Every structure is written in structure tokens, then in C-alpha cells.
Structure 1
Amino acid sequence: MRIGRRRLLALAGAASLGGLGLAMGMRPGLSMGQAVAATDLPARQRLLMPPLLDTTATGRVALTAQSGLTRFAGGAPSTTWGFNQGFLAPTILMRSGGLEATLDNSLDEDVTVHWHGLLVPGEHDGGPHTAIAPGRQLITPMSLDQGPATLWYHSHIHGATARHVYSGLAGVIHYTDGRDDARGLPSTYGVDDLTLLLQDRRFDPEGRMIYNPTYADILNGLLGNRVLVNGQPSPIAGVPPGLVRLRLVNGSNARIYSLHFNDTRPFHLVGTDGGLLPAPIEMTYLPLAPGERAEILVDFSQGPAPVLMSARGLSMTVLRFAIDDTLPVRISRVPDRIGDAIAPLVAPDGIITRQISLDMGGNSSGQVQSPGHQPSGSMDHSGHAGHASHAGHATATGPTGVPIHGQGPAVSGLIFDDFRINGRAYRMDRMDFEIRRGTIERWIVSGGGGVEHPFHIHGVHFQVESSGGGGPPLAQNSGWKDTVLLSGGASSLIMRFDHEATARFPYMFHCHILEHEDAGMMGQFTVT
């Protein structure tokens, strides 16, 4: 489907991240996988890009955590949070060199800014030990030196990370070296280079976004009944009739997306968590777990506009596209090469190998469903869940709708101590590992209870040596990673620790299902 640029811009109208008049539901007679038709456009909105904060000239960025009221689809106002705005946050453009981040907190509780994927010392990483109290300011001078990549940032307060990210304290980072044109990669922000922050959220019948997790939500990770892209439900992305770069960021609390196009068209993976790949990898299906990022190239020059879908038990629409013939086509073919080959890390003699087990002990082993619990309007049906589809071993009997607060997440008076790593729940005053700076280590990481866990390590990028209990790395785990989905056996990761993290400001390693992380599935380590 093609439509003029003026028509699409008129449809965007008064939309903003502070008040979105967007359609949450489907129009009558329109199926989830059907390409958008011209007659449906008046009920939809053009996808908006987050505001862009360009730090490449100034070497400075200022963020303020603040509250807001957001209307989704004209429903009742929702209390939301964001950085520099009422919901979510700007995209920050960064490059290597000095960067001074000024972080202000205007909320009524502690926040942090964790730079997820930035290779910086522990004192600048933004973990739970660097909390910013209400009304206070933190100035963080950083020295950056890494390759171009799509990263993100979010609050990381222990016991409250899930609620903070869900409320909107999250944004995307474009780390650049200014050489994308030479690589043949689309690079015009919001035109042929689209930032797509994918998050599912739960809405009540009045259209309010709610976060009141049940016992089962803690065990499973909370799943929403609507997918938001850049904070918008059911948007349409206008794209030129050529090659477009999609920067995909899974900012959901627990949902794993299984991304593909409804017309099965191929696309090319050109970047993962830690940066660009040496050459594009053609694929038609891309799993993306919470915390992971992927950059893909999609050719929109042929055929009707496709629909980006996710199929994991239940097929659902993620994002619709509309071809805008007035937008310039800068790139028309997929480059053969993008950059230099990535040299594999070589395990030295006597390499330290650590066994890491993500455990769901006691009654919380496996997948749990609360009796009779199904959120209103949910797109998740029996047998379809965000990170697994396994039978549970526990029964959730407590009342629903109890929020999480404080250092020990609790529902119905139960303290969750069943979420552990290597048999121990997280404690802020305990160091799990002490690592020598400059050393290479191998971590053999496995999930527990038959549940898929996205595993994230702060302060390093790693290479996946094997996955699924010894199999070769999956295509989506190519290149440098900082988050990997554990599924079907242990994964072998190899990494070098080049940045310092003291006992006062250690690095974290944890499950990136945020409810699991808050409940204790996290550890920490020093690098000295």
C-alpha cells in the first residue's frame, strides 16, 4: 500500500508521547496478519520517532526522570514516567570520546540510569549501587570507546527495575562512528533508519496502563495485552520504497518476540547487541528476548507493504508499514560487507571457567499460571507465554493486583527468595565473583526449571561459543553480545574484562526477565 507523505503526516496530527490518540484495537473485519489498507488509515497514526539528543558535538547529555499523564487510544489517563518527557525517553546519539551525563531525579523515589551495552567502569554503569535520590542530581563523566551499535538505557533499582521500566524509564542509544554511509547502511533518522522500542503493556477496560503483578506474573514475568512501539499502540511506519534499517530493541519486561513478516519476505541481520556484523546474514525469522537488540535491513521496493509479526504460540501484529513514495531512497541494495571480521577470543591456558545456573527453586520451578487469571483483553492464551510454555509445579493462590515495592518483592505476604543464581538470591552487600582486570573467562550458563531466561552481563561484551547444550551459536547470537537467551541447555560464553568495577560499584549479571531480576535472580562481581 502506498500513500503520500502529506496524507500520512496529516494523520499523525496532534500525536505526541505525552498524549497519544491511537487506536488500541483492530478495526472490524481486519485480521491480525492482514496488510493495512488505505481505508483503514484514518483510524491509525503514523509511527513517531523519539526525540533525538545529539551529543556528538557537545559531549554532554542531560536527563531528568519525571512523571506524566498519558492517554492511550483516548482512554483514561495513565500515570507514566519518562526521561525528559512524560513517557519513555529520547534517543541519544553518542560517539567515542568524553561524555558528561547530568542525571536529575524529580520523582519521589530512587532511580538510576543503567547504560545497557556501554563499556564503562562500574561507577558509571548505573547499576543499583548508584541510586539517585528524589530531588538529587548525579553528574557522571564517562570516557567512551567502542564500535557503532544500538544500545539502550533504563532505571535499575533493585526490587523496582520491572516497575520502573514498565512505567517508562527507558530509551534507546545510537552509538555511531559516522561511517554508515561508507558501509552502505541507511542512516537518516526516522526516514530510512527507524528506532523501534518494542514493549508489551497491560491495559484495563478503561484504557489505563496498569502494573499490578499477580503471584503468577512474578513467576512467569509479566505479559501485556497490547504491544507498543515507541510507546504507541497500533502505529503505522511510513517508509521509502527502498532499503530501510530497523533498529529493534526489546524493552519488554518478559515477552520474547519471534519476529517475521507476514509475506515471509527475507531480511538481513546486520547488527546484534554489541555492534555491526562483518557481513549481512539473510533470515526470515528473528527471536528477540528482553534486553536484546538487533539491526536488520528490509527491502520495501517490491510488493505491498508488509506487516511485522511475532509468532510464539499466538500470532500477533507488532508493526504495520506504509510505502511513502515521496521519501527519498538513499540505499537500494544490501551491502556485501559491512566491516572487518570479528576475531574470536582465544581461550588462554588455564582459563577460568565458571558454571552459572539460573535457578527457580522451591515452589517456583517452571511455568506457573494463576487459577482463572487472564488479563482483560489479553493476547496470551493457554500454552502461549512470554518466555516458555511449560507446565507449572506450583499453584498461585494469593490475591491479584498487589504492586511490587522495596528490596524484597512480595505478593500476598510471600517474599520471593526462590529466584537465585547458583543457589543464592541476590544481596547488594555480597560479592559473588572477584575477577582480575584484563583476563579472559568462559562462563557456562544454564537456565533452571525448564524456563527460557535472557541472561545479561554488565560491563563486558561476550562471544557465544555454543548454545543449546553444545550446539553451534544461532545466527542471532553472532558478533558481540551482552544478552543471550538460554533455551534448551547451557550456553558457553567467552569474554575479556577490560573495565574496573569496585566493591562499591560492582557489575551485575542477571536474568533480564525483570520480575525475575527483582525477585533475586541476579549476582554481582568486581573487576580489579
Structure 2
Amino acid sequence: MYGLSRRAFLSVAAGFGSLAGLSLVSAARASDRPTMPVPPELRADSSGSIALRTEAGTGQFLPGITTPTYGINGPFLGPAIRVRRGDQISMNVTNGLDENTTMHWHGLKIPGDVDGSPYTVIKPGDTWRPTLNIDQPAATCWFHPHFYPTTAEQVIKGLAGLFIIDDDETDTLGLPSRWGVDDIPIIIQDRRFNSNGTFFHRFNLAAVTTGYVGDTMLVNGAHDPVARTARGWLRLRLLNGSNARTYRLAASDRRSMFVIAGDGGLLAEPVELKELTIYSGERYEVMVDARDGVPFDMMTLPVDQMAMSLPPFHAPLRLVTVNPEGVDIAGALPDTLVEVPPLVKNQPPVSQELVMEMNMDDQGMGAFKAAGLMEMTQSGKADPNIIKAVNNLITDGPALPLKTQLSANAVNGQPFELGTVPFSAPLKTDLRWKISEGTDSMYHPVHIHGCQFRILELNGAAVPAHMAGWKDIAPVLKGGSCTIQIRFDHPAGKEAPFMAHCHNLEHEDSGMMTNFTVG
């Protein structure tokens, strides 16, 4: 088991000084709050097909306010697709919207022509029918649109869902597996609302610099919900489905979280943490001990991310209350999980470097500096005048012309351009890539399509134990770098290349994305 050092533990504990008693408060008020929705499981029918339909709807996230939404097989968000390793699944994705979309299977190891990139457009009324051959370990993946340049807005409106892979090896471990009872999906998203109830989103200078800055939390599409679970060991499947925000997750009573899986599958053994940082697009599976039946809150603690410390995120914030009020379920935390293949002994030279660059960095930083954000961040004081000025910058800054938006950011100095393929990678070859930043001080969680990789080093240091398994998001932070061992087992041609991009969706939609072929 991996544990916190004494210094790290004391640092975390100090941040919880204001959290004492929150679990009891939450339990007392649970009846006044919504029950956390659990997305329905969706399996293939007898012919091996799964049908999805994007559609417009409405939802009520704040009392008395109706919000127009998008959803998949429903008004907001989508089902949890369940498949098994070895399955061949025929997907039927119908676009019931009045605009173009795509559907990307985030985390799946599949060829480029079925990956659902910006090249595979589904027009209104059309149906896309890819066949997915599932050949990878059990994992919590997800699906979402990838239409360029409106991915960010379509995700904000509600197009996203879980894509869960099961396998025989995982079945033997006795992990919690009763959906919504002790196997609990938690999709975390921040949102901001206009006065008329619509979701706020605008591609202005603030958006292309920081990404989306919400001020209201949704978990599985509900604001401040209560998850009513079994009493016992719980398996929480965490998805950071936010466009840009990073979360530092912790339990209000400081109980341990045991990370058992990352983006692409199970770890070799559980990793014990008191807090867990999760970047945009990342997934983790954690087990928590709820055998005592005592409610606790899943909190997010403040993060040092540009503009993301505005209230209510300037202090510990409750996301969801976990109330283990149900039946007792027997179970245990395994000492070991699965065998994770060893890293390549003799790493090849770096064959590809990806540099995330912000072309409008000076303008964006200058605007936030003028508003006083830098001073507030450095001092840690939530000055009301600065908060108002920065919020005005986020909400009232004029939208950028489309041409300016699409060139605001870049990879290796080149903003994204459909049809331009800057590089290629060989098929079935172990490679070493380096991902880094330009001169900005932003967070860039970089996603690479068509593969699962292993992180070799992060900012010049050894990778933390909970990130040592299969990954498809590489966090590159504040001028740092990330070196990965990567391999592509499926081809991608020029007609449907793979993408590598920042999963800050506003960065992606403003040029921080590149194409590459594999073959």
C-alpha cells in the first residue's frame, strides 16, 4: 500500500480545519436535497447493437428555473454503456439535434475510422454505424461529442456518458459491482447559468485563456445531491466531465480513499490517499470504507488553477453527500488487483514532442492581471471587488471572431486545421513521447486518441503511484512536462486521423489540437 508522508498528511489535515461536523450537517439536511441520479446501464441487444440518440430537452438544475439541454437517450447526459472485453458492438448513433455532431469513444483502443473524431461528422437526422471491437482491460471510459469547433458547448449542454468495459479477470476480484448500490458513478461538472436559465458559454478572451469557469456544481446532472448507497465498501467511479476545471477531492471526515483504477484500467494494488487530484477528462475508481454507515461529503478543495479559485471554489466545497443508509453488503478491499505489464526496459529516444502553446497568452494574462486576479491569487484573499471584476471578465467579455478563436492556441506552434496532418506514428511499436508547455502557466490535461499509455515521468519526477497504470490523459502543468511510453495497436489514415489535444475543451476548440496518422 502507498500512504501519505507525515508532512503531506499534516498539510492535508490543515486544509480541513473548517470541515468539522459537515457530515452531520449534510445528513440532517439530506431530506431537503435531491437524490443523486444514477445513469441507467445500457447493454447491447441480442444482435450485438447499441442505439444512441442525441436530442434536445430541458432540465431543472436550480429551483424554479428551466434550462434547455442536450442529452443522449434522455434530456441531459447519457446512459452508462456496458460492454465486455472480446465483444464486437455495432453502435447506431443518431443525431436528433439541429446541428452537426460526432461521438468520440474516449479511452477506447480502436482504429481512427471508428474513433469518432472531428472527421466523422453526423449530420442532423443521420445515423453513424461504427463497429467497435473491444480488446482492452476493464476500465471506466466515457463518450462525448468531438465536433470542431463546438465540442465545448455541446458538452456543456449535456452530451456525455460513461463507457464501462468489464472483463473476466476483474470479475474474480470481488470488487463492488451492484450498479448504483455499491458501484457508484459520479460525473463531476461545473456550470454557469445566464439569467434566463440557459447555460452560459462564450468564446471570449477569458475562455480561450482559462477555459470554462463555472460557479455551480453538478454531479450526475444534479446540484448538491445525496447519493444513497449500501453500507459497506463502496466503489466510486469518478469522471471529471468538466470542460476545464481541476478538482482536489477529499472526504469531509478525512476517511481514506483507495485508488484502484485510473483512466485505462486497474492498478497493480490499491493506493491509499487522503485527497485525489483529477484533471479534465480523467477517470479514477476509488474504494471507500462505509461499513460504519456514517454519512460523509465528497468535497473539492481549492486548486492553484487560473481563475478557478473564485467563489464558491475559494474554500472547501461539497459536491455530493454519500449516505450509506442501505443494506449491509459484505466485501473487502483486495490487497492486490491485476498484473500491470512492466515498462519497456530500454526506452527508445523521444520520437515526438508535443508543445501546448497559448497564442493569446499575453492578452489573456494581461486582462486578468488588470482585473486583479493575480494579486488575489498570490495573497489568497477573496477581495469582493476583484471577484466582481474577474466574473465580469468571464461573463461580459465580448465573443471573439471565429477566425481569432480558432488561432488562439496551438500545438507545436500550429493551430488545429482539419485536413492538415503534421506527423505520423508507426503501428505496433513502443514509443516515447514528451508533452510540454510553452510559456504559459495553465493546466493542460492532454488526451491522445486510439491508445492507452504509461506515464514515465511528470515534471522531472517519478510518477505518483496512483498514476502508474494505464492512462489516456497526461497532465502538463504550469510550464512542466510529461514523458510517456505509448503504443498504437490500430491504424488511423489521413481520412480519419487520431487527435492529440488539451482536454480543456475551450483550448481544444481554439486550436490546441493536432492530427496524426498511424500505420
Deviation at 1:213, TM superposition (A): 4.6
Deviation at 1:271, TM superposition (A): 0.2
- Aligned AA for 1:46? T
Return 5+ residue gaps in structure 1 as ranges: 1-29, 375-380, 385-390, 405-409
Given the alignment of the two structures, is residue 204 of structure 1 paired with residue 198 of structure 2, yes or no?
no
Given the alignment of the two structures, is residue 280 of structure 1 paired with residue 270 of structure 2, yes or no?
yes
Q: Which runs of structure 2 are paired with 1:263-412 in the superposition (5 Å)?
A: 263-302=253-292, 304-313=294-303, 314=314, 315-324=316-325, 326-331=326-331, 333-347=332-346, 351-364=349-362, 367=365, 382-383=376-377, 400=395, 410-411=400-401
Q: Which runs of structure 2 are paired with 1:46-445 in the superposition (5 Å)?
A: 46-55=35-44, 58-96=47-85, 97-205=87-195, 207-302=197-292, 304-313=294-303, 314=314, 315-324=316-325, 326-331=326-331, 333-347=332-346, 351-364=349-362, 367=365, 382-383=376-377, 400=395, 410-411=400-401, 414-445=404-435
Q: Deviations over 1:330-386 (max 9, x none)?
A: 31x21111112332134465x452221101134447756558989xxxxxx9539xx
Deviation at 1:411, TM superposition (A): 4.9
Match of 1:519 in 2: 510
Q: Is the 8 A contact 2:20 2:252 kept in 1?
A: no
Q: Deviations over 1:294-327 (max 9, x none)?
A: 0000001237311111112422111111121x42
Distance 1:60 1:119 in 2: 19
Q: Is the 8 A contact 1:180 1:187 kept in 2?
A: no
Secondary structure of the residue aligned to 2:130 is: strand
TM-score norm. by structure 2 comes to 0.85
Distance 2:518 2:338 in 1: 30
Given the alignment of the two structures, is residue 458 of structure 1 paired with residue 425 of structure 2, yes or no?
no
- Aligned AA for 2:330? R
Change (3 A) 1:158 1:35: farther
Change (3 A) 1:365 1:180: farther
Secondary structure of the residue aligned to 1:183 is: coil
Q: Which runs of structure 2 are paired with 1:35-54 in the superposition (5 Å)?
A: 35-54=24-43
TM-score norm. by structure 1 comes to 0.84
Q: Is the 8 A contact 1:359 1:421 kept in 2?
A: yes
Distance 2:339 2:31 in 1: 46
Match of 2:462 in 1: 472
- Aligned AA for 2:468? S
Change (3 A) 1:520 1:37: closer
Deviation at 1:278, TM superposition (A): 1.4
Distance 2:396 2:68 in 1: 16
Which moves more between the two structures, 474-483 or 49-58?
Answer: 49-58
Distance 1:460 1:155 in 2: 18
Distance 2:220 2:193 in 1: 16
Q: Deviations over 1:410-461 (max 9, x none)?
A: 3598444130111110111111211121122111111231212101100011
Number of equivalent positions: 476
Identity of aligned residues (%): 33
Return 5+ residue gaps in structure 2 as ranges: 1-18, 304-313, 379-385
Change (3 A) 1:213 1:430: closer
Moved over 6 A (4+): 371-374, 395-399
Which moves more between the two structures, 212-221 or 293-302?
Answer: 212-221
Secondary structure of the residue aligned to 1:40 is: helix
